[in-house]
Structure 1
Amino acid sequence: MKEEQKSLILKISSQYPPPQGVKLSYGTAGFREDASILVSTVYRVGILAALRSLKTQSVIGLMITASHNKVNDNGVKIADPSGGMLTQDWEPFADRLANAQDPQNLIELIVEFVEKENIPLHWDGMRSAEILLGRDTRPSGESLLQAAKQGIDSIIGAVSVDMGIVTTPQLHWMVRARNQGMKATEFDYFQQISDSFRCFMGLIPTKSDQVSEGADKLIVDCANGVGGEKLIALKKMLNGKAMEVRNSGLEGEGELNERVGADFVQKEKVVPLGFGTEDVGISILLSELRCASLDGDADRLVYFTVASNNTSRIDLVDGDKMLSLFAIFIKDQIGILKGEGAKKTTNNYEPRLGVVQTAYANGASTDYLKNLGLEVVLTPTGVKYLHEKAAQYDIGIYFEANGHGTILFSQSFLSWLEAENKELSSTSKGSEEQKAALRLLAVTKLINQAVGDALSGLLMVEAILKHMGWSIHKWSELYQDLPSRMLKVIVKDRTAVVTTNAETEVVKPTGIQDAINAEIAKCSRGRSFIRPSGTEDIIRVYAEASTQEAADSLANSVAKLVDQFLNS
């Protein structure tokens, strides 16, 4: 590394001393902390983003958000060239960078890493790295954005492009689009998903059992976050689709994520602020009011109905059921294209459809999906693991119960689908087979393949429910969730627990898995596992069983085992 580059980093980094007594760790959510101590970290992530762009010779994204956290928090994370999350290989370097104690140590780390990764630094002043910047609506976002720009400016030839206030999924989409040679403004994002939604809706069959017009009322809780403004803009592009936007966060309305939003609704199972007796569904025929919640940066989505017998409670339709809805629809459309009686083309391609979950997925959902004949696999907890596994299929669907997930389509599947549609349009235009192909093509453009996206997911749900003629009540009754309980156990050393098989079995300490199995065997439909927290000396316990009493008892028994094996 030339002295000119070292001097530039030393000069700027001295303005951003790291917080004392704080150790930061880059996880699935990137770095996330109280905003007051993140300035130095965001500056250094700016450097990281520039180096990543140089390494990949691609556009990289840097998003400033703390998602569903309280308003005083903030965070920063990187979007890789695919639009997905930062490669796990670079996470240790991100940790070291954030925790470097002084400018000289920072320089040494960067020099070592640049040489190890053979990153091509440029000295002619020409543009050599490009980073798209985005932030949510938090008050701290603007100052942290400036720190990120300074970090990017610390690498000669790197430039930043401020995309403004955007949802996290929008920024990921923009990075993916730019690296595919497509237009990548916010307008282009809205244009693609609105056009795809209209195309999908135009292919919906006429059915006598369609949901009545009265059931088309959709009310969306936007967590007083960035999703409110964006959903209102999207609604206008859809010519005022019948939806009501609440908790928009505009004009000072409400506090970000405070008793509102997908995370609150999914965990607490109570109505968000701004919802009440007037939102109880009409429980006759198929006519029920649908409600949905986005989280603070609009990458999570859950649906719910307000209970008629207790208007503070909700009937939740979570990410597991969203996954099931999408899987049923895609399986049906492929069945139309490939099933008996379908027009046979010369291409015998058989797309492989896979469903990816974590061990936290309710066991009833996993059983339901397997009974549909779908291939279901588990990964360790974390979107990065789910996304990576889903990419191994021609069609990979993943969702967490919290409402974060998406659908990935391989290039081979897209090529086959486009070829099928082309042939069908010339030989049997307007046939059910061609409509199925067109619906699937619309889905590939409607869903955000870069990352979970509450806005595109919302339109997907609405279109599929309309296509299938289902009410939210019928959707919710696909299966009945098994009662479950989650607990935390404080331990001396969380690293003493080592798991395998997607975190469902414990390898160390020896003997604890046998003890857990013995407790599980006492319960009807019992299931339990433990896993260490990624950030605290805590062991998380999950248990489910056929009754809530049994699930509670199983969780407590396993928690006692954790305490016995790790704290004695």
Structure 2
Amino acid sequence: MYDNQRDLLLKESDRFPPPQGVRLSYGTAGFREDASVLLSTVYRVGILAALRALKTGKRIGLMITASHNKVSDNGVKVADPSGGMLTQDWEPFANALANASSSQDLVQLIIEFAEKENILLNGSKSAQVLVARDTRPSGELLLDAAKHGIGSIIGVVAHDLGILTTPQLHWMVHVRNKGLNGSERDYFHELSSSFRCLFNSNPNNSEWKLKDWDNQLVVDGANGVGGQKLEMLKEMLNGLAIEIRNSGKGEGVLNEGVGADFVQKEKIVPLGFGSQDVGIRCASFDGDADRLVYFTVPSESSNRINLVDGDKILSLFAIFIEEQLTILAARTKATKIDFRPTLGVVQTAYANGASTQYLKALGLEVVFTPTGVKYLHEKAAEYDIGIYFEANGHGTILFSDYCISVLQPLYWELSDVSSGSKSHKAALRLLAVTRLINQAVGDALSGLLLVEAILQHKNWSIQTWSELYQDLPSRQLKVKVVDRTMVETTNAETEVVKPPGLQEAINSKIAKYPKGRCFIRPSGTEDVIRVYAEASTQEAADDLATSVAKLVDQFLGVGSSN
């Protein structure tokens, strides 16, 4: 039955021999490595995506990107039919595919997996994989390898969407599998029209008057694809004054001294910014535009910044959503309309403790997951409205089908009896948010517009926003170890289970510091243990992190921290 398929796979896979001495693991970001060793891996992920498309009967996405990594790196990841990440159930198969040592082993692995998953490899079914890449020079060659992988499975074709942001590809997979139009222009139209709707629903606005708003905004595009796409989006916003620097038009190197990852970790101004930007609202994308952070330059004499990170973006979104729900609750109670959506905020242990305290003080339900967007997204989907963000600026808002199905008729019902009322506009705003925010994945472009719309709605400066709460000082270290698997954790990675006695020793250190908090977790990619500490002062946070790093070294053997 599989002779033709077997022959095709053997022929094509021989063109992409695996690199010697390299073992790869599929994580939240897919496979990442120096681009020079990725041809075989990307070819094999093309096969994976093709099999997934046959299995689900839906369009699958394949993106060539290494996000915030250096320009010499690249990577590949798969988007499932929902537009979300590849199901975790298939990650072991992804690892086995990438690391198969020969073409014969690879083909046998594929045949056995297909039989286990009841995937027919006789060409009786057709399927499609949407493929795209970011602006890295290595992207074109790797994308060609991915297409060969997709074409190695009979009946599956690759649809090349060209250069996109990662969130654009995820969005297109999501909407096309719903039977809707999913072109890049459709994406831009969805963002611009819903942003305009949010702007016009402001109680202080009666029409589209961006020129009357303090809309001075400068965006760092990380010399990547996000800056280029924001230039295109600007044309549909009719007057939103955004200055784009590091746009990727040749003035700098991707992610080098620029971008959300650099800004968030180093807390200094990116290249192209300086004394001319003091007090101005600034934002930064990462290389593939799925992360967003804001910042201000407080002084002409220093290159330090005031960072407004993913925790504060989450807080801003949560405040706005809760306000609209409160307005609707008063109205629906009076009209006996049953609309009581669950609202949850999802964080990881890396969220600053001050942000968690602030959100809980607002009466919001805050829950924690292990580190990784796939865990955050999965937990957020359990709520009717789930908001998640990592401090690094990756996050989004998820709305359940139930929530949207009630909001739409509720909006029209309120329009019939009270068009222009507070409750009518609240329903309108929430519906606009469901269209503006990218519910498939974190999206710097859509996130930027939602931040801008909410700041304008509340008439807040970036300084007002930044002062919602004061971050606790923190420090991160990593300790090199022989075997990171010696550490096992529980309770969203905040408590150590193994080795015995280590958590008790950490607790004794934490108790010495006011507002002290510290946890350790093994890295997912290298033999290091990561240490995160908070305390009431920076000196105390530094001391706590250092003392716990020494404990890790004592329990796990000789190492070094940095």
Identify whether the pair has TM-score above 0.5, normalized to the shorter chain: yes
Cα separation, 2, equivalents of 1:310 and 1:409: 45
**8 Å contact from structure 2 (residues 284, 293) kept in 1:** yes
Q: Which residue of 1 aligns with 2:219?
A: 220
> Which residue does 2:526 correspond to in 1?
536
TM-score by length of 2: 0.97
Contact 2:215 2:240 (C-alpha < 8 Å) held by counterparts = no
1:29 is matched with which residue? 29
Match of 2:357 in 1: 367
Say if 1:280 and 1:311, in contact at 8 Å, map to a contact too.
no
Q: 1:88 to 1:34 in 2, by over 3 A?
A: same
Contact 1:211-1:469 within 8 A present in 2 as well: no
- Aligned residue runs from structure 1 range 188-203, under 5 A: 188-203=186-201
What is aligned with 2:133?
135
| Correspondence for 1:256 among 248, 254, 257 | 254
Q: Which amino acid aligns with 1:307?
A: P
2:225 corresponds to 1:234: no
SS of equivalent to 2:68: coil
Alignment of 1:35-184 (within 5 A): 35-124=35-124, 128-184=126-182
Aligned pairs for 1:304-453 (under 5 A) are 304-308=295-299, 310-339=301-330, 344-453=334-443
What displacement does 1:349 show? 2.8
Deviation string for 1:427-483 (max 9, x for gaps)? 111111000000000000000000000000000000000000100000000000000
The percentage of aligned residue pairs carrying the same residue is 71
3-state DSSP of counterpart to 2:334: coil
Q: Does the aligned pair in 2 maintain the 1:302–1:317 contact within 8 Å?
A: yes
The answer to whether the Cα contact below 8 Å between 2:216 and 2:242 also exists between their aligned partners in 1 is yes
Report the CA distance between 1:346 and its aligned residue.
Answer: 3.5
Structure 2 Cα separation of the partners of residues 521 and 87 of structure 1: 40
In the aligned structure 1, how far is the partner of 2:211 from the partner of 2:549?
48
Deviation per CA, 1:381-406: give whole Å up to 9, x if none: 00000000000000000000000000
Report deviation, 1:311: 3.6
Q: Which amino acid aligns with 1:461?
A: V
Residue of structure 1 in register with 2:474 after alignment: 484
Pairwise CA distance, 1:342: 5.9
C-alpha distance in structure 2 between counterparts of 1:37 and 1:469, whole Å: 50
Contact 2:275 2:300 in 1 (8 A): no
Q: Helix, strand or coil: the match of 2:438? A: coil
Alpha-carbon distance in 1 for matches of 2:239, 2:215: 13
Give 1:522's aligned amino acid. Answer: K
Q: Is contact 2:474-2:535 (8 Å) kept?
A: yes
Q: Which runs of 5+ in 1 are unaligned?
A: 282-288
Aligned pairs, number: 555
Instruction: State the SS of the aligned residue for 2:235.
Output: helix
Q: Give 2:117's aligned amino acid.
A: E
Q: Corresponding residue for 1:466? A: 456
Unaligned regions of 5+ residues in structure 2, if any? none
2:256 pairs with 1:266 = no
CA contact (8 A) 2:211 2:240 kept: no
Q: Tell me if structure 2 keeps the 8 A contact 1:497–1:508.
A: yes
RMSD of aligned alpha carbons? 1.4
Residue identity opposite 2:458 in structure 1: M
Q: How far apart are the structure 1 equivalents of 2:141 and 2:554?
A: 47
The 2-side partners of 1:231 and 1:349 are apart by 36
Cα separation, 2, equivalents of 1:169 and 1:344: 40
* Alignment-mate amino acid for residue 327 of structure 1: A
The partner residue of 2:204 within 182, 203, 206 is 206
CA distance in 1, matches of 2:258, 2:225: 13
Give the alignment of 1:268-307 within 5 angstroms: 268-281=266-279, 289-307=280-298
- Could you tell me which amino acid in structure 1 is paired with residue 114 of structure 2? V
Conserved in 1, the CA contact under 8 Å of 2:489 and 2:498?
yes
Mapped contact 2:478–2:528 kept (Cα < 8 A):
yes
Amino acid across the alignment from 2:362: L
Write out per-residue CA displacement over residues 263-302 of structure 1, whole angstroms, 9 at most, x where no aligned residue.
0000000000001111101xxxxxxx20000000000000
Contact kept in structure 2, 1:211 and 1:470, CA below 8 Å = no
Aligned amino acid, residue 226 of structure 2? G
Instruction: Give 1:343 deviation, angstroms.
Output: 6.3
Contact 1:31 1:77 (8 Å CA) reproduced: yes
> 1:214, CA displacement in angstroms?
7.3
Deviation at 1:545, TM superposition (A): 0.3
**DSSP-derived class of the 2:214 partner:** helix
- Judged with a 3 Å threshold, the aligned counterparts in structure 2 of structure 1 residues 343 and 299 are, in CA distance, closer, same or farther, namely same
User: In 2 relative to 1, CA 212–149 (structure 1 residues): closer, same or farther, beyond 3 Å?
Assistant: closer
Look up the match of 2:7.
Answer: 7
Residue equivalent to 1:286: none
Q: CA deviation at 1:211?
A: 12
Deviation readout 1:305-345 (Å, 9 max, x if unpaired): 00125341110000000000000000000000002x66633
CA contact 1:343–1:433 (8 Å) conserved in 2: no
Instruction: Give me the whole-angstrom Cα distance separating, in 1, the residues matched to 2:213 and 2:441.
Output: 33
User: Partners in 2 of 1:240 and 1:495 — Cα distance?
Assistant: 54
- The amino acid of 1:154's aligned partner reads S
The alignment partner of 1:310 has SS state of coil
**8 Å contact 1:211–1:466 — kept in the other structure?**
no
